[in-house]
Structure 1
Amino acid sequence: MRIFRMLRAGLAVAVCLGALIAAVRLVVADDNPASVRRQLAFLRSELESGAAHDAQAMFPEGYFFLYALYGLTEVDLGLGRPPGERAGELTAARWALAALDSADGRAPFDAGLTPSYGVFYRGWTNWLRGGIVALDPSGPEAARFERDSAELAAAFDAAPTPFLAAYPGQAWPVDSTVAIASLRLYDKLFPPHADPAPGGRATPAPRYRATVDRWLAGAKERLDPATGLLPHRADVATGAPIEVARGSSQSMIQRFLVDVDPAFAAQQYRVFRERFRPWGPAIREFPTGVAGAGDVDSGPLVLGVSLSATAVTMGAARVQGDGRLADALTGLADVAGVPIDTPHARRYAFGVLPVGDAFVAWSKSARPWVSAPPAGPPPDLAWWWCLPILTVLLGIAIFSIFLSGLRAR
């Protein structure tokens, strides 16, 4: 009997300790680079074991996203280091880019599109390649970044719509937003120079300013009429909205739009925050007042909340300067995701879905690559949003102690 009492007491202590750890994680945001690096260590191990091919069997861009987000997170961490200390992140990001620039990376995409393989593939790879150039301007990626940026710009300039096709006959505005952000990154990394001679000409405009300005004007003419945001899907021929704005794509758009046009991004972000938050910091898949079911883009919904959109908004809030929401989402992820730490790795949800870990790592490391960090909108999340969850955790701890004592008696 004594050993059973000891086991019950030990279980009660474990439950109380777990509740305490969860409470601390909820209110103390852990976006430390060291924590993100432990996540990347887990992801690298999973990628080397074939996790990207497993993810591809789950959704159409599974392979691509797992490698892309791994590489982009390495770039984010590298940009936070002095130039002479980026070798590790640079090597890892190049490894990820090589996986994307392969037959497996291109397999889901159509070579006959304009640009070849579609704007999703070309936009994300150009963004990652540009990030590598930002880490190492003298590296071999610069020439390819220049060629691919020119091809993307030519495709946008020739199209009657700002939203290019990602797959035959299908266009998602979020994909074009990523591609346009990569052109803005090019203009930052390779700015034009004025003629230094006396009486020389004035500094010319950035190479892709006209393309970006034309894209912005066209995108603003094709906003979703129900929300005033960029639509989830658009007609591939005209760019007209054909599906209401949704959280799974809006969370991505808000992450990249700040590097395209900070003023437009700030306006769009305020609307997004207002229309897609049902309670606390969680993000809906559909705007308030619109019903819908989960699909391959959003994943399963929980009371209308999209777990993927919530995770990606963590990074969007961070680059938009919305620190309170970013910290709240980080805490929520560190409780709901039940992260398991070892001295060298961290995994969420017991590591059963590595692409989820990749989205969390990318969101925790988020930083603008082109624009200066914005001041951000006024906070609209009450400080007490976490009190109901803390109350539940306290109740669990008290109940475990009570139950243990009751059984002992």
Structure 2
Amino acid sequence: MSRGRTVAVALLLVLAVLGSLLAGVGLVRSVVGVDEARNQELAAAQLRHLVPAVAAGADDDMARLFPEGRELTQALVAMAALDLALADGSGTDQALAAADEATGVLRDPATAARFGVQGGGVFLQGWALQVEERRAALTGRPDDAADVAERAARLAASLRAGLDRGEPFLESYPGRRWPVDTVVAVSALARTGADDDLVQRWVDAAGPVADPATGLLPHEVDAAMRPVEGPRGTSSLLESAFWPDVDPALSARRWAVVTEVFVVRRAGLVGVREHPAGVPSPVLGDVDSGPLVAGVSLSASAVALAGARRHGDAVLADSLQREAEWAGVPVQLGPARRYAGGVLPVADAFLVWARAQPHDLAPADDLAPADAEVDAGTGTAAVVWPWPLAGLLVSLLLAGWAARWLLRSVRRGRVGVAQRGIS
């Protein structure tokens, strides 16, 4: 028997054993689920990895992946750390360090200049104010509150000027307007206690721009507020985490539509389709959606988790948590936890930001409450466990076959040695 084949089978045995261990752990995670206490523990463990990683330059790697990668990674990590600190008072020093790191990037004049719009554009201003408002709430210092009020006033002035021109959605880049960016900014203004009349005026102006079929905002509009591209899963789900700050009642009604249009169940798993049914999707996706698998956006699941938590959709949140704990391949080294080996910090950042979201809204009337039994036909709940179970069975079969082959090979070798000794 050739030595090369023996080495190959031995390697297969090692991989099959490792696969069995991983699948077994994944099976346990998919069955046990993540309650709120465990959710907070996981988020804290993620931050113990992410905060120092971002400070060491992990956000720069994301800038090479997509244009806003650095800024978005910084903002998400800081917001998650601040939200957890505001919730229970833990990790305050870490949260303030993450916030200072993020604002140093988001308020850097060089960053604003790169966006090419006065003041850095609504994307940069909105995410920066989200971080700064939370930081001021955590410190409780009057000078921090005054600084936030000043920055909010400038953003409000830009929004008011846009509304006066009949443009509720502001520029993020020269000539480019993504409504989700303005939603984030208006949410930040609402959190700062900005003029309620201005927020309501914006809601009224945004309504006529919405897609007539679904009532959801377009993914992109032009300067005349005409849709460049209709509603998409990634942007609609991201907006859903911020709409509760803007208009809670509208947000609850909107969430029911978002989940109906974009949340799907396929092969037992819950996913988010990037485009509504019947709208063609690029085979590989794009910079906004990330990779697509059969039209489902892999990057949108964490975003959906944030919206589910904000709207009290416990069924969907639980399904997405189970999938993250299985398919995300989490690795915890000491107190720090990372997903997919930590090779994509922005994905880790979206997940920890989603986990830190408060679940402070009651479900809409047509959403299942936390203690409701789930109708398997709704397409909202996931049945995750068959996938790791299948992986476990396949790995065990391969391990068994490889072990049996090697054992027989060893026995044949011993018989050959004995026969040579007799002769």
Task: State the TM-score, normalizing by the size of structure 2.
Answer: 0.83
Inter-partner Cα distance in structure 2 for 1:66 and 1:290: 30
Match of 1:134 among 128, 137, 145: 137
Q: What does residue range 361-376 of structure 1 map to in structure 2 within 5 Å?
A: 361-367=352-358, 372-376=360-364
How much does 1:291 deviate? 1.0
Match of 1:242 in 2: 228
Match of 2:97 in 1: 91
Inter-partner Cα distance in structure 2 for 1:365 and 1:393: 31
Inter-partner Cα distance in structure 1 for 2:72 and 2:337: 19
How much does 1:23 deviate? 1.1
How much does 1:45 deviate? 3.1
- Residue 272 of structure 2 aligns to a residue whose secondary structure is coil
The range that moved more, 62-71 or 20-29, is 20-29
- Residue 221 of structure 1 aligns to a residue whose secondary structure is helix
**Is contact 1:78-1:90 (8 Å) kept?**
no
- Residue 96 of structure 2 aligns to a residue whose secondary structure is helix
Q: What does residue range 215-234 of structure 1 map to in structure 2 within 5 Å?
A: 215-234=202-221
Q: What letter is aligned with 1:27?
A: V
Relative to structure 1, the CA distance from residue 281 to residue 104 in structure 2 (aligned partners, 3 Å threshold; closer, same or farther) is farther
**Is contact 2:190-2:246 (8 Å) kept?**
yes
Relative to structure 1, the CA distance from residue 286 to residue 383 in structure 2 (aligned partners, 3 Å threshold; closer, same or farther) is closer
Relative to structure 1, the CA distance from residue 402 to residue 79 in structure 2 (aligned partners, 3 Å threshold; closer, same or farther) is same
Inter-partner Cα distance in structure 1 for 2:32 and 2:216: 32
Match of 1:399 among 381, 391, 397: 397
Inter-partner Cα distance in structure 1 for 2:103 and 2:382: 42
How much does 1:151 deviate? 1.5
Inter-partner Cα distance in structure 2 for 1:56 and 1:384: 33
Match of 1:264 among 242, 245, 250: 250
How much does 1:255 deviate? 0.7
Greater gyration radius: 2
**Is contact 1:321-1:373 (8 Å) kept?**
yes
Relative to structure 1, the CA distance from residue 109 to residue 7 in structure 2 (aligned partners, 3 Å threshold; closer, same or farther) is closer
How much does 1:32 deviate? 2.8
Match of 2:387 in 1: 389
RMSD: 2.5
Relative to structure 1, the CA distance from residue 374 to residue 53 in structure 2 (aligned partners, 3 Å threshold; closer, same or farther) is same
Relative to structure 1, the CA distance from residue 129 to residue 88 in structure 2 (aligned partners, 3 Å threshold; closer, same or farther) is same
How much does 1:88 deviate? 3.4
**Is contact 1:23-1:393 (8 Å) kept?**
no
- Residue 340 of structure 1 aligns to a residue whose secondary structure is strand
Inter-partner Cα distance in structure 2 for 1:366 and 1:240: 32
- Residue 296 of structure 1 aligns to a residue whose secondary structure is coil
- Residue 357 of structure 1 aligns to a residue whose secondary structure is helix
**Is contact 1:73-1:361 (8 Å) kept?**
yes
Q: What letter is aligned with 1:125?
A: A
- Which structure shows the higher helix fraction? 2
Q: Which structure 2 segments of 5+ residues have no match? A: 369-373, 409-423
CA distances 1:220-277 after superposition (whole Å, capped 9, x unpaired): 11111343211101122x3232211011211110111111111111111111111112
Q: Which structure 1 segments of 5+ residues have no match? A: 188-206
Q: What does residue range 105-120 of structure 1 map to in structure 2 within 5 Å?
A: 105-112=111-118, 116-120=119-123
CA distances 1:128-147 after superposition (whole Å, capped 9, x unpaired): 11111221222532122101
Would you say 1:353 and 2:341 are equivalent positions? no
- Percent identity among equivalent residues? 37
Match of 2:273 in 1: 284
Would you say 1:15 and 2:6 are equivalent positions? no
**Is contact 1:61-1:108 (8 Å) kept?**
no
